[in-house]
Amino acid sequence: MQTYLNWVTQNPLLSAAIQFAILGTLGEIISYSIQKKKIAIPCNWLQLLLKGIAWAVLGIVIKYGFAGMKGFTQALLDHELLPAFLGSGLGWAFAVSVFTNVLFGPQMMAFHRFEDNLILGQKGFQGITTAWKTLIWFWIPAHTITFLLPADLQIGLAALWSLVLGIIMGATRKK
């Protein structure tokens, strides 16, 4: 565990990119495999490689987003625009999670869909409303847990949550 923490601390952007590239892409493969009821990839191998790169970019975007939303939440507290109980512990984690998922999440998801569309040669934002709904029922609770952890563990857990959501979506997606 110390080796992981050292790596994440010394390489914050690279580690975010690699963790999301691996776990986000794996989440897509597992989701698709669950739907097909056999091990399968959701696209051709070149597209899968490009999806891995897109997930890596997303990991960096999320790393910056987390830092920005923590700063935003702290600024609101400093200006007494939020109740003091949101300044620490579970209150802090919940506040950062809500702001992250309400103010940052929709644009990040739209950007990710744009990346996917470029890779797959598709147009439009089909299914984005369903994706946005996950911000409420999945991501706010998940990131509340995430923001309770030390900062060096947060991106890794966020990447792991992407894999978990892929499994949930694959198991519940209508054919």
Q: What pLDDT digit, counting tens, does each position of 83-138 carry?
A: 999 999 999 999 999 999 999 999 999 999 999 999 999 999 988 999 999 999 99
pTM score above 0.85:
yes
Residue 155, pLDDT > 90, answer: yes
Q: Using 50, 70 and 90 to split pLDDT, how confident is the model at 175?
A: low
Convert the chain into a string of H (helix), E (strand) and C (coil).
CHHHHHHHHHCHHHHHHHHHHHHHHHHHHHHHHHHHCCCCCCCCHHHHHHHHHHHHHHHHHHHHHHHHHHHHHHHHHHCCCCCHHHHCHHHHHHHHHHHHHHHHHHHHHHHHHHHHHHHHCCCCCCCHHHHHHHHHHHHHHHHHHHCCCCHHHHHHHHHHHHHHHHHHHHHHCCC
The residue-averaged pLDDT of 143-162 equals 97
Residue 17, pLDDT > 80, answer: yes
